[in-house]
Structure 1
Amino acid sequence: MAEEEFHIAMFPWFAMGHTIPYIHLANELAARDLRISILLPNNTSLNLQHQNLHPNLISFRSLPVPDVEGLPPGTETVSDIPFSDHHLVAISMDLMRQQVEQILTAIKPNLVLFDFAYWIPDIAKQLGSKSVMYNVVSATAIAFVLASARKVPKDRVMKEEELKEIPSGYPSSTVVLRGYEFASLNGILMPFGYGNISFYDRKTTAMRNCDALAIRTCRELEGKYCDYIRTQYGKSVLLTGTALPKPDNSTRLEDRWDKWLSRFERDSVVFCVFGSQCTLENDQFRELILGFELTGLPFLAALKPPVGCTTVEEALPEGFEERLEGRGVVFGGWVQQTQILSHASVGCFVNHCGFGSMWEGLMSDNQIVLVPNLGDQIMNSRLLVEELKVAVEVEKDEKGWFSKENLSRAIRCVMDKDGEVGIMVKKNHAKLKEVLEKPGLMDRYIDEFVQNLQELVKLS
């Protein structure tokens, strides 16, 4: 099949942390002359047009979001609502099934990439297309959820001791849960309803019925977890590598941040982001900010306002700005994360260990401090801290809460250039980054991915 005839449709989960990686992959595929149609909500598709680097080959197909009781008007992605309401977006996506089927019938793609709509494989089969579940969360998290949740009946909540028990064939004795993490992950495993079907059943139904699985990762990082997933489902697991956009040296950091960062010594600034979906409780927001102050280091934190606040300014501790005298900034808007991470003054990256931030941290030269909040973030953190030993995690109490002292201690630990832990994680990080940056490695992943997709279609 000639490459110019190959047409791929994409229907990602409506979250910015999923949609943007799909667009990044689309750009890589279009650079190899494949045609892509991405199905997204109306306003989301408009707002992401600037991410399309190949408008001659990549088109956005807009979808109106159906009304769902409890979903605020205008909501299109889970980034617009609290975590507790994410299931409403899943319901709205299920209600789009007929719209999606009509579009796919009209455009007749060779293949459909998706990650949450478990009914896509059924539509693809009817059209004579192939379906590939493309996961933009880590193979580590997928493997752990599959290994743990399959051990108990669907009508019973998993017990903590069952989660900690290492399942037969599971490839790690270190990527496991600690006590305080149980509540966070158990809600996602069982029984976490996303409409009339649980999160676990959505994932496993999609993985069972699709023609192949794909994951945004590398064998160099998660090879044994990819192998475990392949053995569980008996089908191909295709890898795309990081699928991150190539560095754009023509895009300069905004003057306001460049000037502020340039006031400080090399590798001295702590930079913190927690992603578009993480909203901290007010008390935890306060501990975070006071923890940065306690380090004595300059810092820039780009965060969403905490629960109950409309701005970050109103949540700042009393006298905070006066005490810092310009040494620290808490900003409630969007920042150029990649450009800030590459600034010479930045030396530490504090993040929630979402998969996108995880990759950006690994591909930077900064020390990494992790404060995971939800399911896959916890497992990503286990991978980086316990197995790869390239990061440090902030210690939490039995309820999953961190203190300003523990945050400050973790940051000072990795920023101590003569300390044992700081030296260890910096050395391990540098070695891994050298492997991941090997010339041509990520291009080879994409080239092999394209070849595998074409071979999959030829089999039909």
Structure 2
Amino acid sequence: MKMGESTEESKLEIVMFPWLAFGHLIPYMNLSNEIAKRGHKISFLLPKNAEIRLQKLNLYPNLIKFHKLTIPHVDGLPCGAETTADVHRSLESLLATAMDELYDEIKSFLQNLKPHFVFFDFAYWIPDLAREIGGIKTLFYRVVCPAVTSVTSIRSPDKSIFMASTAAELVKPPPGYPSTTVVLRECEAKLLSFIFHEYGKGVTFYERVKKGMTRCDAIAMKTCREIEGNFCDYISTQFEKPVLYTGPVISELKKEPLEEHGLSNWLEKFKPGSVVFCAFGSQLILEKKQFQELVLGFELTELPFLLVVKPPQGTSSVEEALPEGFKQRVQEKGLILDCWVPQLEILRHKSVGCFVTHCGYGSMWESLALCDCQLVLLPRPIDHIFNARLMEKQLKVGVEVEKDENDLFTKENLCKAVKCVMDKDSQIGCLVKENHKKWKELLSSPGFMSNYIDNFIQDLRELLIEKT
């Protein structure tokens, strides 16, 4: 703050430097909009090829300025790769190495700008760099479920902690951990072993997250205390520093047309609340057999369905992966697309009654706060599994599709989960609907989300008052 300014009068200057993945870039962009809405300045560091997509989301271009980064080439990365959307998951470690090689460019940028704060997540070296420059506070802004953070950054790197000896093992917390636990089956627990693998040159994923959270001035979480406060309290205790809440930070609703791909006319053909909508995000790609189980499961429900999904592994189009005779059987009742669609507008359409979701953190909050659909949970990546268990076990707002010991689902189990929530006489369906209604009323109540942002900004000002 400048001399003579009160904390209320001062405007903050913040640098955003998220991990090079749209699942991180977009939440950082949403938070930037909320902060800029209150008159503060944002410098947003992002790869060149991400600018076009994020430019559309920038609601305050006079206050949010993009600083385009040229991502260094690292041997083994595809030419021009700049985000995780450009690489296979197995190459993400090389992308992390490329991000770390931006050190000198980021240092020069921060020395010239001298912002009040830098928000970061995977660039674990930011706190040390900020201290070297002086006068800059750092926030580790986490945009995944706090339960994931508590597992991947706190526990001793002993793989046995995560390995389940039975099919229903609990990931057991240390003494004093809140009563809420996350149930992981053996195949899921083993997936957590990736955090001990190299993620960037000379650093594991575990070290990358833990160092960032240990060395920053404060930790910020994209959540609210009412839903995940117990996890955040535990994290605050373990790292002995404040955990700040931004609230869910859902992007502002914009009326987007459904005419493209004939969606509007297609949806209008069906009765209110009868259509099953399934979307798996922009990066998730299913194996061909799982894709076929998915579409056959929807066929078994005998309900109209809209599926938005990428072509399965090893195929060039969705159509070529369809089971024999499937297209003819479902005819007008099923629509499968492999392109971008306005998800929120679809969820809010009167004909849509069920949302089968991969449980991405953004989709989780959107489905809780902005739609009335029944929720069927079909998580894929490990962090999405935590989101699904939160929604099913703690909030009781959805039903998860059962999987086998190899983490695979069947068409029968998918159909069973959909029928469970869509059957008007189902006790479980009525329970999750009532709980969903309760949480939606809270999250969408006047002032709920804006108050979180206002309090968050006040927390930032108080951090500045502390001696750097």
**Where on the TM-score scale, by shorter chain, does this alignment land: which range?**
over 0.9
In the alignment, which residue of structure 2 is the partner of 1:159? Answer: 163
C-alpha distance in structure 2 between counterparts of 1:96 and 1:391, whole Å: 42
The reply on whether 1:253 has 2:252 as its aligned counterpart is no
The reply on whether 1:40 has 2:46 as its aligned counterpart is yes
Equivalent position amino acid for 2:256 in 1: T
1:234-313 matches, cutoff 5 A: 234-248=240-254, 250-255=255-260, 256-313=262-319
Residue aligned with 1:22, SS: helix
In the alignment, which residue of structure 1 is the partner of 2:361? Answer: 355
Q: 105, 129, 135: which one pairs with 2:142?
A: 135
In the alignment, which residue of structure 1 is the partner of 2:17? Answer: 11
In the alignment, which residue of structure 2 is the partner of 1:430? Answer: 437
C-alpha distance in structure 1 between counterparts of 2:309 and 2:378, whole Å: 13
- Percent identity over the alignment is 49
The answer to whether the 8 Å contact 1:158/1:186 transfers is: yes
In the alignment, which residue of structure 2 is the partner of 1:60? Answer: 66
The answer to whether the 8 Å contact 2:163/2:190 transfers is: no
The reply on whether 1:86 has 2:96 as its aligned counterpart is no
C-alpha distance in structure 1 between counterparts of 2:191 and 2:381, whole Å: 6
In the alignment, which residue of structure 1 is the partner of 2:125? Answer: 119
TM-score, normalising length: structure 1: 0.95
Cα distance change of structure 1 residues 191 and 357 upon mapping to structure 2, 3 Å threshold? same
1:411-430 matches, cutoff 5 A: 411-430=418-437
C-alpha distance in structure 1 between counterparts of 2:131 and 2:173, whole Å: 36
1:264-413 matches, cutoff 5 A: 264-363=270-369, 364-413=371-420
C-alpha distance in structure 1 between counterparts of 2:319 and 2:256, whole Å: 29
Residue aligned with 1:286, SS: helix
Equivalent position amino acid for 1:398 in 2: E
Deviation string 1:22-55 (CA, Å, 9 cap, x unpaired) is 1111000001000000000111123321111111
Deviation string 1:293-340 (CA, Å, 9 cap, x unpaired) is 111111111111111112212211122111111111111110101111
1:176 is displaced (CA, Å) by 2.4
The answer to whether the 8 Å contact 1:287/1:402 transfers is: yes
C-alpha distance in structure 1 between counterparts of 2:342 and 2:30, whole Å: 16
- Structure 1 unaligned spans of 5+: none
Count of matched residue positions in the alignment of Structure 1 and Structure 2: 455
Residue aligned with 1:160, SS: coil
Deviation string 1:211-243 (CA, Å, 9 cap, x unpaired) is 000000001110111111111111010011111
C-alpha distance in structure 2 between counterparts of 1:425 and 1:300, whole Å: 22
Deviation string 1:130-178 (CA, Å, 9 cap, x unpaired) is 000001101122123345x32628xx78533496334322223542212
Bigger relative contact order (CA 8 A; separation at least 6): 1
C-alpha distance in structure 1 between counterparts of 2:172 and 2:211, whole Å: 24
1:428 is displaced (CA, Å) by 0.9
Cα distance change of structure 1 residues 173 and 218 upon mapping to structure 2, 3 Å threshold? closer
C-alpha distance in structure 2 between counterparts of 1:175 and 1:300, whole Å: 31
C-alpha distance in structure 2 between counterparts of 1:267 and 1:39, whole Å: 42
Moved more, 353-362 or 306-315: 306-315
Q: 419, 436, 447: which one pairs with 2:454?
A: 447
- Structure 2 unaligned spans of 5+: none
Residue aligned with 2:354, SS: strand
Equivalent position amino acid for 1:171 in 2: P
TM-score, normalising length: structure 2: 0.93
